[in-house]
Amino acid sequence: MTKFEVTTLSEYILNKQMTIPQSRGGFSHLLHHVSTAARMVNREVNKAGLVDILGEAGNTNVQGEDQKKLDVFANDHFIDAIRGCGEVCAIASEENESFIFFDDEKGRNGKYVFLMDPLDGSSNIDVNVSIGTIFSIYRRVTPVGEKASMEDFLQPGTAQLAAGYILYGSSTMLVYTTGNGVNGFTLDPSIGEFCLSHRHIQTPEDGRIYSINEGNYKKFPKGVKKYIKYCQERDDATQRPYTSRYIGSLVADFHRNLLKGGIFIYPETETAPLGKLRLLYECNPIAFLAEQAGGRASNGEKRIMEIQPTSLHQRVPFYTGSKNMVAMIEDYLTDFAHKNSKRFKAAQESVSHN
């Protein structure tokens, strides 16, 4: 029988820490607490139908969205886990109006801030569809020993030290990057550990999947409408038509496209002219992962991670996935906003000929 060597997340983090000169283990300790919170949320997700944790919590979050009971559970347990690690001075969550600072000695001396969407895709909870957690870690900019401020959170995505997501699906996966590639770990329930299962993930430069809520088609910018038509037209040379796949959970849609190749699209609309997804909690961490895996992330005009945040709950249009697909939709957005451009006419001719 072949013997398989298993590397747990804890072992992987420790081995990486040993390669960093002068590392004192604080960052590794923080990542360990993230995985601990993920296991706790996973436990509740897996038995949600058996306990009184499905359905509405009876509250709305700062976004004006109805909170599910699991939303509240995930938010509370991640906050408690991050507070307990002693490495973080403050935390910001999509579920809370403002950030939470830890006003004790350990909190004031924390070197990092933590941002999260504790339960992405929570509208899918009651129908047993994959959901996830998205997180991002920055080094604080205020002096250690002082109370954290908004300045610590309003940093561009290029300043991220780490980002990742936990996917609660048919198996539970933790996928993260510290700026040196992307690795995925699958939870082994028999030992209660995340084990390395996807080493050095690289997303294809091109893909054949586009993920968008086409129910909002009439509200999309013209460039997005034209790109969708491009995806749907038959062309054997480019293996079109492409496949439309949309779950409604950013983590689940992005994870599938990351592995198989594709593009996730959440544009601005007539009713949401600034977009819907949150820059700090969703777009920046997913963009960091996409780029580290060889992909691309954009607001349609600019690299997501270069946007300077102006508020905790800032929303932006979001296009991410295989780099050639993202580049093409950027072209469509530009060209169909400037109808006299040569590229617009060429794209128009290409669509009309197929």
CATH code where residue 143 lies? 3.30.540.10
pLDDT at residue 333, as a whole number: 95
Per the annotation, does 276 bind a ligand? yes
pLDDT tens across the length of the chain (354 residues) = 345 578 999 999 988 876 655 456 788 889 999 999 999 999 887 765 544 544 454 455 555 555 567 888 899 999 999 999 999 999 999 999 999 999 888 888 999 999 999 999 877 777 778 899 999 999 999 999 999 999 999 999 999 999 999 999 889 999 999 999 999 999 999 999 999 999 999 999 999 999 999 999 999 999 999 999 999 999 999 899 999 999 999 999 999 999 999 999 999 998 889 999 999 999 999 999 999 999 999 999 999 999 999 999 999 999 999 999 999 999 999 987 744 444 434 544 554 444
Count of domains in the chain? Answer: 2
Residue 222: count other Cβ atoms within 10 Å of its Cβ.
13
Range of the domain at 231: 209-353
Per the annotation, does 246 bind a ligand? yes
Per the annotation, does 152 bind a ligand? no
> Which of 163, 198, 233 is where one domain is finished?
198
Beta pairing partners, 101? 90
- Which own/partner contact pairs does 345-348 have at CB distance under 8 Å and 24+ positions apart? 347/226, 347/230
Per the annotation, does 282 bind a ligand? yes
Say if 1 falls within a structural domain.
no
Say if 3 falls within a structural domain.
no
Per the annotation, does 219 bind a ligand? no
Per the annotation, does 213 bind a ligand? yes
65 and 124 in a single domain? The answer is yes
Say if 155 falls within a structural domain.
yes
Which CATH number is 280's domain given?
3.40.190.80
110 close to 139: Cβ distance less than 8 angstroms = no
Say if 253 falls within a structural domain.
yes
What is the CA angle 224-316-162, rounded to 5?
A: 115
87 and 120 in a single domain? The answer is yes
83 and 50 in a single domain? The answer is yes
pTM of the model: 0.89
Tell me the residue type at 120.
D
Say if 225 falls within a structural domain.
yes
Beta-carbon contacts of residue 212 (< 8 Å; ≥ 6 apart): 224, 228, 244, 246, 264, 265, 266, 267
50 and 187 in a single domain? The answer is yes
Per the annotation, does 121 bind a ligand? yes
Say if 171 falls within a structural domain.
yes
252 and 304 in a single domain? The answer is yes
